[in-house]
Amino acid sequence: MENGLFQGRRGANSLISRQDGADLAVAALSFLASEPDRLSRFLDLCGLGPHNLRAAAADPGFLAAVLDYIAGDEPLLIAFAADQGTPPERIVAARRALEGPA
């Protein structure tokens, strides 16, 4: 996500490893799952259901997609960042960290 709020913060990406990004994405999925309406909306937009969520999670791009979803909804991003006690910019940087080599 590159809107005005996050431009110029690419340096934060160097502070987050790929594993840190994956860990934050797992936390984001747990955050979504903690509220049935939030999880339902995410699953609907992804075309997933409870029956195939676990299989989708095994896909290497899935964790990045979770962070894309969170980052694409500013109120959700802010709520998740507050839940994690981390700045929203760190979540966006975590998403970028997942783009690197495995």
pLDDT band at 102 (very low <50, low <70, confident <90, very high): low
| Structural domain spans, the chain | 16-96
pLDDT band at 6 (very low <50, low <70, confident <90, very high): very low
**Whole-number CA gyration radius for the chain:** 13
Tokens of 38: 């939030």
| C-alpha dihedral sign at 54, 65, 25, 101 | positive
Over residues 72-78, the mean pLDDT reads 96
Question: pLDDT (tens digit, 9 = 90+) per residue, 12-27?
Answer: 445 889 999 999 999 9
Buried b (16+ CB within 10 A) or exposed e, 36-56: eebbeebbeeeebeeeebeeb
pTM of this structure = 0.80
Question: pLDDT (tens digit, 9 = 90+) per residue, 20-57?
Answer: 999 999 999 999 999 999 999 999 998 998 888 888 88
Distance (Å, whole) CA 69 – CA 88:
13
